[in-house]
Structure 1
Amino acid sequence: MASSETYTQYLKPTEKELLEVQAGYEELEKLLKSSRYHEGGFYILNGNKVFSINEYQDIRQHKILLEADKHIELGAIEVSLSKECYRDIGKKSKPDKVYGRKQILESSYRGEFNRGHLIAESLIKYCTDFDYYKRENFVMITNWCNRATTCNHKHIACGMLFFEQILLDSLEDGVDICYRVTPVFKKLDASDDEEAEQSFEYLPRGIIMEAIVTNGKAFTGQNVERLGKKFEKSFNVFIPNAQRDLVIDYRTGEIGLNDNSVTLKDLYEAKGFKMKDLGEVVGVSHRTIRRWNKDIAYIPFKNVVNLAKALDMSVDELAELLLLDY
C-alpha cells in the first residue's frame, strides 16, 4: 500500500467483519453494545473517559504468560508521557517470538498483519520509565488496526496510528499524558482448549487505547480537531483487530477471505444496463467495457466521471465501491 490514505478507503472493516470481532465473546459484545461506533472505524468506550480500575476487569486485566522463568506477561501497559522526558533510544528490532506470530506466518495472508507495538516506538521516547522492549509490547494486528490514519474533509480512518499522532502532536506542545494500551484477548474455556499451553486466543479481538491529560492542558493537532471537543482532555477507544475482506479465526490464527467485493458488472446490471448500452452512455465501445470488467485499473479518470453519472452515483461512491484510487 502506497500511503495511509489507502488504508482508509480499502481496509476499513465492514459491519460483517465488526460483528465477527465480538462473536462468541460475551463480555466484549456487552461492552461494545454500550459504546458508540464512530465513522472512523473505532468504538468510543465509557463516554470517552478512561476506565477505573474495577471496570470491565474480565476484559482489561487478563495476563498471558509468555515466559515463566523471566516472568514476561502480555497484557495492559500503562505509561506516563512528557516532553521533558524525551530521550533518543535508537532503533530497536522487533522480537521474533510475538504471541500468535507463528500462526500468522503459516497463513497465505500473513502480509495483512503486523507485529504491532502496544506502546509505539515513537512514544517510548517520551516515557518516564519503560521496560517493555521484549515480547510483551507486541501483538499481531491487521494493517487496518495498526496503521489506518486519514483525516481530511472527505474521509476519516482511525487505527492505532491515528490516536498515536494525537499523543505525539500534544507532547510536542507540552501536554503531559497518562496512557494505557490493552490488547483484548478472549480467554478460552477448558472445553475450547485443545492445546494445554493455549489459555487464550492467539490474536486479540482489538486494542483499547486510553489517554488522559495530566497537567491541565488539552490535546492538540489536526486529528483531535477533526474528532471534536469530547477528545480534548481524554479518550477511551477500541480499535477492532479486523480488516475489510478478511475472515479471522482469533483462536487459531487462521485467516481467510470474505467475499465483499463489488464488480463493475454488478453495478451496471443492477441499473438495468447491458454492456453495449453502458458503452454508448459512457462514450466507449462494448469491448472497452469488457476490458474494464476484467481489470478496473484500466478505467481512466475522465471515463469514471461519465460512468458515475450513468450509474447515478458520485465519483467518490463509485471509486470506493470498486476500490479505485482517485
Structure 2
Amino acid sequence: MARKKTKKQSMSLASLVITFLLVAGGYFWAEGTSTVSHRPVTRVENAASRPSEELAHSVLTDTVRAQLGSDLVYNGAGAFVMNGNRTDLDAAVASVPYADNKTKIAQGKVVPTVANALLSKATRQYQKREETGNGSTSWKPAGWHQVRHLEGEYNHAIDRGHLLAYSLVGGLKGYDASTSNPKNIAVQTAWSNQSNRPDATGQNYFETQVRRALDRNKRVRYRVTLIYQSQEDLVPVGSHLEAKAADGSLEFNVFVPNVQQGLVIDYYSGKIHLNQ
C-alpha cells in the first residue's frame, strides 16, 4: 500500500509539473503572439501618410517665414501652430454672413490669395455637390500638373483645393462654391487638402472644427491666406488658416504646408516630380 501511495504521489507531482509547464508555456506563447499582433502598424502607416517634419519645414524659406512671423511651432502632425494658436480676427461683428475672395495675376493667370468669411449655420452646406449643381468639373486651376497611380494613402498628387470649403460656405446665396471658381480654387496636394486626423492635420482637419462649430449654431470668422514664395508663383507653398467663434468656443491659427510625402513640387510652374 505504501508503494502504491508513493507511486500515485509521484504521478501526481509529475502531472502538476507538466500542467505548470503547459500553462506557463501557453502564457509566454500568448504574450509573444500578442506582442506581434499589437505592433504599431497603424502608427507606421499614419506616419507614412503625412509629410515628414523635414518635408514640412522645407517650404519655410526666409521669404515665407517673413510672411508667417517668428512664432511658428511644428505640431507633430504635418502642420504648424502660429502665435500660440491665437488670431486677431474679430468674430463679434454686427454683420450678416459673407464671403470675399482676393486674387493676384501671376504669369498672366488669375490666382487666389486670400478668402475672408463670416460663417453661420445658414452658410453651412449639407447637400452633396451633385444635388446643388456643384459636381465634378474638368476646369483646371493655374499650375495644374496631375500625377496619378501613386502608392500609399493618396493615389494622386493634387486636388482642386478650396480656400473656402463648399461645406462651410455652400449655403451662402450668390457665392460660387464650385470647384471651378478661379478666385476660390488653387492647386493643393491631396494630403494637404484631404487629411483629417489628429496625427495628420491637413486643411480638412481644421475645416472639420469649423463645421462642428457651425452645427452648434456658432458664428465664426474664418480667413484663409495662401502663402507664395514669390509673386509670380502659380502654386502656394501652404495655407494660413485662422478661425474664431464669436463666443470664444473655437479659435485656431495654423499653417498647413502644401507638400506631400514622395513629391517634389516646383511652386513656380506647378510641375511635380517623384522623389525617388
| Range class of TM-score, shorter chain | 0.5 to 0.7
Asked if residue 12 in structure 1 is aligned to residue 19 in structure 2, the reply is no
Segment drifting more, 166-175 vs 81-90: 81-90
Question: Mind listing any 5+ residue stretches in structure 1 that lack a counterpart?
Answer: 54-60, 189-199, 219-232, 260-326
Match of 1:163 among 206, 214, 219: 206
Residue pairs, 1:90-129, within 5 angstroms: 90-93=132-135, 94=137, 96-101=139-144, 104-105=145-146, 111-127=156-172
TM-score normalized by structure 1? 0.56
Q: Retained in 1: the 8 A contact 2:71–2:84?
A: no
The AA in structure 2 aligned to 1:203 is V
The structure that has the greater radius of gyration is: 2
Determine the structure 1 residue equivalent to 2:262. 245
Distance (Å, rounded) in 2 between the aligned partners of 1:50 and 1:129: 28
Deviations 1:249-304 (A, max 9, x none): 21232222335xxxxxxxxxxxxxxxxxxxxxxxxxxxxxxxxxxxxxxxxxxxxx
Deviations 1:68-99 (A, max 9, x none): 9xx96622011111114456681414461312
Change in 2 beyond 3 A, CA 1:62/1:165? closer
Q: Retained in 1: the 8 A contact 2:104–2:113?
A: yes
Residue pairs, 1:8-87, within 5 angstroms: 8-23=46-61, 26-30=62-66, 31=68, 33-51=70-88, 63-65=103-105, 74-86=112-124
Question: Mind listing any 5+ residue stretches in structure 2 that lack a counterpart?
Answer: 1-42, 91-100
Deviations 1:37-86 (A, max 9, x none): 10121111122222479xxxxxxx98423799xx9662201111111445
The number of aligned residues is 212
TM-score normalized by structure 2? 0.65
Distance (Å, rounded) in 2 between the aligned partners of 1:141 and 1:248: 11
Residue pairs, 1:1-326, within 5 angstroms: 8-23=46-61, 26-30=62-66, 31=68, 33-51=70-88, 63-65=103-105, 74-86=112-124, 90-93=132-135, 94=137, 96-101=139-144, 104-105=145-146, 111-127=156-172, 130-131=175-176, 133=178, 134-151=181-198, 156-188=199-231, 200-214=232-246, 216=247, 218=249, 233-259=250-276
Change in 2 beyond 3 A, CA 1:211/1:128? farther
Q: How far apart are residue 187 of structure 1 and its match?
A: 2.1
The AA in structure 2 aligned to 1:137 is N
Change in 2 beyond 3 A, CA 1:118/1:46? same
What is the root-mean-square deviation in Å for CA atoms of aligned residues? 3.3
Q: Report the 3-state secondary structure (helix = DSSP H, G, I; strand = E; otherwise coil) of the residue aligned with 2:116.
A: strand
Considering fraction of residues, name the structure with more strand. 2
Q: Retained in 2: the 8 A contact 1:247–1:256?
A: yes
Change in 2 beyond 3 A, CA 1:67/1:131? farther
Segment drifting more, 246-255 vs 165-174: 246-255
Q: Report the 3-state secondary structure (helix = DSSP H, G, I; strand = E; otherwise coil) of the residue aligned with 1:79.
A: strand
The AA in structure 1 aligned to 2:236 is P
Q: Percent identity?
A: 26
Distance (Å, rounded) in 2 between the aligned partners of 1:32 and 1:243: 23
